[in-house]
Amino acid sequence: MSLLGGYLSIRTVAFLMFSVFAIAALGYSLGRITVRGINLGTAGVFVAALIYGCFLYNTLSEQLLAGGTSFANSALKIIENMGLSLFVTAVGFIAGPNFVGNFRKNYKSYVMLGLIIIATGAVSCILCILLSRGNAVIADDEFIALMVGIMAGALTSTPAFSAAKATVATEHLESLVSVGYGIAYLFGVVGVVLFVQIVPKALKANMVKERALISISKSRIRTLPGGLTEMDDFGLMPFSLAAVAGILLGSVKVGDFSLTTTGGCLMMGLFFGHLGHGGMISLTPSAAALKVFREFGLMLFLIGAGVAGGANFIRYFEPVYFVYGVIMTLLPMTVGFIMAKRVMRLNLLNILGSITGGMTSTPALGTLINVAGTDDVANAYAATYPIALVLVVLSSQMVILFM
């Protein structure tokens, strides 16, 4: 018995499902290991997926008999995109009711912080190129393609990665962009996850006070009219409708740029969450359903991205390139944090939420919500993310074209 015209066997599906849930079980266990109050949390799933990809990716490819490596990549991409759709749509719904008021109050800071983070990442990439290009063992155009891939991975930006591949001239250079992305993506994820945990502890932040500050800074929650019709007990219909609209919006291209599934689903989640209802029909999923979708989506995303990233990481790893990625991850966050705190005078949770958006870091937002103990940090993420998304795509293309 088989599925999809005999290409996908029941055994194949079972092995893929087994792999996903085994990684999740191990990853969450790993994420609970705490050292001096710091742990990986849900990002432990990403580390487990990377380890799986490093050592068992070939086994996965052999079990997915329909097409070997190419089919394994397709299966992982489906898992990754499904997870992203669930996660960012849920985040949009959660942030939606307070997003407009919060953005109006702090929009200048969000725009500036997104600009500072991405500009710092691009400048650090350019400096690494200028300082090392003469010593590289590969040609200049190859080195630039590799470094832009590292920048995209360090900033965990799939749109920048895609834009860079579309901008380079040959398939060979595309492969080097992929190599750089795979090398830097590990620390790009884990580094931001650790940053949003270490900073509050280093500053000895009073989280009760910080939660009060970010709550004061949000707009008043709207009162929805009574007697709204719920389409189902959990709000699956409006959630699904927002996800469909987001996927369609994300597929629209202007030149080489698109919002992608991530940006499209975030925008539509924000829109539906802000709207709240259409006539007398509720467009608001239950809080419990949104939390489940947010966590389950994040888990799927980390597994899909982690397994594929692990296969590339062990294949192409070079210590010096990893160091470049660390620089391009830490420097933008550090500069952004200092500017937000010293110049913009934002409160701590707004700063950290904006940094996760500016770094386009989906996993770090999930961690920050747990660290902060409030979903309100999603407002800052949602406000900064679209700005950073556009800027990082443009930056990756400009470095390739003008270096």
pLDDT of residue 273 exceeding 90:
no
- Quick one: tokens of 43? 């990002």
Concatenate the DSSP letters of all residues of 223-267 into one string: PPPSSPBPSSSS-HHHHHHHHHHHHHHHT-EETTEE-HHHHHHHH
Residue 338 Cα distances to 189, 344, 356, angstroms: 21, 9, 15
Cβ(211)–Cβ(369) below 8 Å: no
Cα 340 from Cα 68, distance rounded (Å): 48
Partners of 282 in the β-ladder: 277
Q: Is 281 helix (H, G, I), strand (E, B) or coil?
A: strand
pLDDT per position as a tens digit, 340-350: 999 988 899 99
Cβ(313)–Cβ(54) below 8 Å: yes
Average pLDDT over the chain, rounded to whole?
81
When pLDDT is averaged across residues 23-36 and rounded to a whole number, the result is: 87
pLDDT per position as a tens digit, 133-175: 766 667 778 888 889 989 988 998 766 776 777 677 676 777 7
- Quick one: tokens of 340? 């937000």
Percent of the chain residues topping a pLDDT of 90: 20
| CATH class held by domain 2-219+235-402 | mainly alpha
Concatenate the DSSP letters of all residues of 21-44 into one string: HHHHHHHHHHHT--BTTB--TTHH
When pLDDT is averaged across residues 182-206 and rounded to a whole number, the result is: 88
pLDDT on residue 78: 85
Concatenate the DSSP letters of all residues of 97-153 into one string: HHHHHHHHHHHHHHHHHHHHHHHHHHHHHHHHHHHHGGG-SS-HHHHHHHHHHHHHH
When pLDDT is averaged across residues 272-291 and rounded to a whole number, the result is: 86
Buried/exposed code over 177-204 (b: 16+ C-beta within 10 A; e: otherwise)? bbbbbbbbbbbbbbbbbbbbbebbeeee
pLDDT on residue 1: 37
Choose between 132 and 119: higher pLDDT.
Answer: 119
Q: Is 218 helix (H, G, I), strand (E, B) or coil?
A: coil
pLDDT on residue 199: 93
Per-residue confidence at 233, pLDDT binned at 50, 70, 90? confident
Find all residues with CB under 8 Å of 21, minimum gap 6, and list them: none
pLDDT per position as a tens digit, 356-370: 989 988 778 888 888
Cα 369 from Cα 289, distance rounded (Å): 16
Alpha helix (H) ranges present in 317-347? 319-342
Percent of the chain residues topping a pLDDT of 70: 85
pTM: 0.72
Alpha-carbon dihedral angle through residues 296, 302, 305, 308, given to the nearest 10 degrees: -110
Cα 260 from Cα 248, distance rounded (Å): 9
Choose between 162 and 122: higher pLDDT.
Answer: 122
